[in-house]
Amino acid sequence: MYINRVLVRRGLDEIVLATHLFRPLRFTLYLQPWHWFRRNQDPAGVRLRLVLEDLGPIFVKFGQILSTRKDLLPEEYARELARLQDKVPPFPGEQAVAIIEKSFGKPIGDVFAVFDVQPFASASIAQVHAARLPDGTEVIVKVVRPGIEKTIKRDISLMKTIAEWAERYTAIARRLHVCEVVCDFEKTLYDELDMVREASSASQLKRNFAGSKLLYVPEVYWAYTRKRVMVMERISGIPVGNIDALRAAGIDLRLLAENGVEVFFTQVFSHNFFHADMHPGNIFVGPDGRYIAIDFGIMGSLRDVDQRYLAENFHAFFRRDYRRVAELHVESDWVPKDTRVDEFEAAIRTVCEPIFERPLREISFGHLLVNLFQTARRFDMEVQPQLVLLQKTLLNIEGLGRQLYPELDLWVTAKPFLERWMLDRVGPKAFFKAVVRNTPYWVEKLPELPGMIHDFLNESRNTEAREEQRRLDVEKLSRELRRSNRLTFRAVTGSTLILSAVLILVMHTGQFTSLSGVPVPTLLLGGLGALILIFSWS
C-alpha cells in the first residue's frame, strides 16, 4: 500500500497504465481526482529517481547500480538514476557499541582506548565511527547496520516480485533483463554485509600496490576485524571531487588524471583485481599526490581470456577493424557461436563509425564499451557480470579523469599500457615467462619421467593386446552368429516343407491316416529324424 501511495504521489501510476497489459484501463487515469490537479509533471526518469529515494536506502542503492547499466537503460533514465545520493540517517551510536561488544565479547572500553559514539559517515549498509586503539593508533570503525539483513530480504523479495511481474507483461522490462539485474544486486548486497570479506579485498589491493606512487590503501587491523565490524587505518586527504582544494594544495591535475587511468589499467590487466566502486566519494588524494581508496565492498576480476579479448577489442576498434571486433566477440563466447560475423560486423560499424568523426580525445572508452554491449545485445549476448563491473568502473574512472583534466586523452594515456601488456602476454617475453613459471613443476616431475615413460609403454602394449583379444572375440562371435543363422534357416525350411506336405495330403485325401500305406505320424517322425541328421552334419 505504501509503495502504491508513493507511485501515485510521484506520478508513476501513469507509467504503469501505459504498459501493454493495462493500456485498456488507461482511461481510468482521467477518472482519478488526483490526476486532475497534476500540472507540468517532471520527466519519467526524474519521477523514477524520486520514487526510489522515497522508498528508502536499499531502493536507492539499487537505483545507483542500475544507473551503471547504460547498456540496458535509456540515456534519460541512466542520467537521472546516477544522481541518486545515498543519504541515510545514521543509527544511534549506542547500537553500534552494542554490535561491537557482541562481536568481541567484551566491553568496548577493553577494545578501544577511545570510541566516538557519534558517526562521521553513514550509508545504507554500514556507518563509520572514529576510534583509537590501545597503542594510540587512530583508526576508523565500520559497523554494519542492525537489522539490515531483514530489510534487505524484505526489499529484495518485493523487487523480485515487481521484476517478475514487469517482465511478464512489458517488453521493455524483458529487454532490460530486470530479474537478472535484481539477482545480481542481491548478491552484491549480501557480499557487502561481510566485513571480513571487505577487509580481505582491501588487504589484497594493498599488497598489489605495495610501494606504488599511484595508489595508497589503508591498513586493515585484523585483530580488530569481525564479520560485522572492520577496523582500518584512519587516513587524511582531499576528496577527489574538490578541484579547488586540489589546486590550492599544488596538485598537478593533469598528472593526477593520467595516474587515475594507469591505476585502472594496472588493476584490470596487471593485477586482475580491481576496485569496482571508484566513484568520487570513495577516492581521496593524499599530500604526496597519490590516490587513496576506501570502501572495498565491491571488487571485480576478469578471466584471462576476457582480459586478452578485451585488450584486443580496444586495439581493433581504434584501428576501425570492425570485423575483428565481431570475431573476438564470437571467439570469446560473448555472443553465440552461430552468430553471423558479417551481420555483426555491419551492426558494430553502424554504431561505432560515427564516433570517429569527433577528435580522438573526445572518444569515451566507457561509452565505447556501452555501445559495443548494446549492439551485442541484439545478437543475444549473455550478460557477463565481470564485464559489467568493468564497464561501471571504467565509466567512473573516465568521468573522474575528465573532471580533473577535461583535455584528458584516454586513448593516448592507455595505448602504451595496453601495447606493453599484449607484448608481455603474446610475445617472446610471454614465452620465456611461461617457461620460468613452469620450470619448478618440470624439475619436480623430472625424476618420475623414466617411470612414467615405462608405464606408458606398458600401457600401450597392454592396450594393443586387449585390442587383439577384442578383435578375436568379435570374429568368434561373428562365426557363431553365422552358424546359428544357417541352422535357423534350415530348421524353418525343413519344418515348412514337412508341414506343407502333410497339409497337402490331408486336403487331397481328407484323411489323416497314411500315405501309400505309411502312417502320417511315421512320416512326421521320419522327417524330424532327417532334420536332426542334417543339423548334426552342419
- Any domain includes 251: yes
Choose one of 426, 441, 468: the last residue of a domain. Answer: 426
pLDDT at residue 27 tops 50: no
- Any domain includes 290: yes
Signed CA dihedral, 261, 319, 377, 81: sign only: positive
- For 510, the grid coordinates are 481328407
418 with 507, same domain: the answer is no
**What are phi and psi for residue 249, nearest 5 degrees?**
-85, 0
Query: From residue 427, how far is each of 272, 289, 439 by CA, in Å?
Result: 19, 35, 19
The residue segments making up the domain with residue 491 are 449-537
CB 246 within 8 A of CB 285: yes
293 with 416, same domain: the answer is yes
Cα–Cα distance measured from residue 120 to residue 130, given in angstroms and rounded to the nearest whole number:
7
403 with 299, same domain: the answer is yes
Q: Under DSSP, is residue 387 helix (H, G, I), strand (E, B) or coil?
A: helix
Query: From residue 94, how far is each of 35, 98, 115, 146, 234 by CA, in Å?
Result: 45, 6, 11, 11, 22
Cα–Cα distance measured from residue 16 to residue 297, given in angstroms and rounded to the nearest whole number:
34
pLDDT, tens digit, for every residue of 403-461? 888 877 777 777 777 777 777 766 666 556 656 666 776 676 677 767 777 777 777 77
- Any domain includes 461: yes
- Read off the pLDDT of each residue in 93-119 and give the average, rounded to a whole number: 94
Longest dimension (CA), the chain: 137
* Helical segments of 355-384, H only: 365-377
- For 422, the grid coordinates are 599484449
CB 70 within 8 A of CB 395: yes
Query: From residue 304, how far is each of 207, 391, 438 by CA, in Å?
Result: 20, 17, 17
Sequence-distant (6+) residues with CB within 8 A of 181 are 65, 66, 69, 72, 163
Query: SS3 for 174-236, per residue?
Result: HHHCHHHHHHHHHHHHHHHCCHHHHHHHHHHHHHHCCCCCCEECCCECHHHCECCEEEEECCC
Q: Active-site residue among 13, 155, 277, 295?
A: 277
CB 72 within 8 A of CB 180: no
- Any domain includes 199: no
Q: Which H or E run contains 127? A: strand 126-132
158 with 43, same domain: the answer is yes
pLDDT, tens digit, for every residue of 119-155? 988 888 899 999 999 999 999 999 999 988 888 888 8
Signed CA dihedral, 472, 476, 482, 485: sign only: negative
Choose one of 363, 394, 426: the last residue of a domain. Answer: 426
Half-sphere exposure of 95 (CA within 13 A, CB side): 14
Please count the structural domains in the chain. Answer: 3
275 with 306, same domain: the answer is yes
354 with 393, same domain: the answer is yes
417 with 484, same domain: the answer is no
410 with 493, same domain: the answer is no
pLDDT of residue 135: 93
315 with 389, same domain: the answer is yes
**Residue in this structure with the C-alpha cell 569515451, named with its chain if needed:** 364
400 with 466, same domain: the answer is no
Q: What is the CA radius of gyration of the chain?
A: 38
- Any domain includes 351: yes
- Any domain includes 236: no
Cα–Cα distance measured from residue 369 to residue 334, given in angstroms and rounded to the nearest whole number:
13
Q: How confident is the model at residue 401 (pLDDT cuts 50, 70, 90)?
A: confident
Q: Which H or E run contains 465? A: helix 449-509
pLDDT, tens digit, for every residue of 184-233? 778 888 888 899 999 999 999 999 999 899 999 999 999 999 999 999 99
Q: Would residue 54 show up in a list of annotated catalytic residues for this protein?
A: no
Cα–Cα distance measured from residue 141 to residue 110, given in angstroms and rounded to the nearest whole number:
15
CB 156 within 8 A of CB 189: yes
- Any domain includes 527: yes
- Any domain includes 130: no
- Model confidence, pTM: 0.67
272 with 409, same domain: the answer is yes
DSSP code per residue over 512-530: SSEETTEEHHHHHHHHHHH
Cα–Cα distance measured from residue 72 to residue 354, given in angstroms and rounded to the nearest whole number:
21
pLDDT of residue 519: 56
- Read off the pLDDT of each residue in 64-69 and give the average, rounded to a whole number: 68
> What residue type is 354 in one-letter code?
P
pLDDT at residue 22 tops 80: no
Cα–Cα distance measured from residue 166 to residue 284, given in angstroms and rounded to the nearest whole number:
40
**The pairing of beta strand 215-216 with beta strand 291-293:** parallel
pLDDT of residue 151: 86
Signed CA dihedral, 339, 342, 347, 351: sign only: positive
pLDDT at residue 382 tops 60: yes
* Helical segments of 405-427, H only: 410-426
212 vs 377 pLDDT, higher one:
212
Cα–Cα distance measured from residue 292 to residue 270, given in angstroms and rounded to the nearest whole number:
19
422 with 454, same domain: the answer is no
Query: From residue 23, how far is each of 11, 16, 62, 506, 518 by CA, in Å?
Result: 16, 9, 27, 88, 98
Percent of the chain with pLDDT over 70: 70
CB atoms within 10 A of CB 193: 18
